[in-house]
Homo-oligomer: A and B are copies of this chain.
């Protein structure tokens, strides 16, 4: 049988919209999602799950109510469940997210930046 790798760059080249995670793989009931981000996202929390951010290209920040973490290419951070956070990027940044299937990007906040969920690419 022929097995193929999942190439982050090739997958990212298939879409251009911001803050709209695309699912590229599943691991049990968890999903790996690619996203292009730029400017500020909304403050939100995920009450039932942690959320992993891995930076593939560029730089981003995750703002917390009591601090901030800066992430560059080759760095990751896990936002604990229930912790309010606001991702942002001064320049377009490409990230890999890992979280359980079915998690909305805006968590408990909702609003216009809520992306369609479970969109594969």
A residues with a Cβ closer than 8 A to B are 1-9, 24-28, 30, 32, 49-52, 56, 62, 64, 66-72, 74-78, 81, 98-100
Contact = CB atoms under 8 A, between A and B. Distances in A.
28 contacts: A1-B66, A3-B62, A3-B64, A3-B67, A3-B68, A3-B69, A3-B77, A4-B69, A5-B69, A5-B75, A6-B75, A6-B77, A7-B74, A24-B76, A25-B76, A25-B78, A26-B50, A26-B78, A27-B30, A27-B51, A27-B78, A27-B98, A28-B81, A28-B100, A32-B52, A32-B76, A32-B78, A98-B98
Contacts of A77: 3, 5-6, 25
Please give me the 9 A-B residue pairs with the lowest Cβ-Cβ distance, nearest first. Answer: A3-B69, A5-B75, A1-B67, A1-B66, A27-B50, A27-B52, A5-B71, A6-B76, A8-B74
A1 B98 contact: no
Nearest to A100: B28
Judged by DSSP, the binding face of A is strand
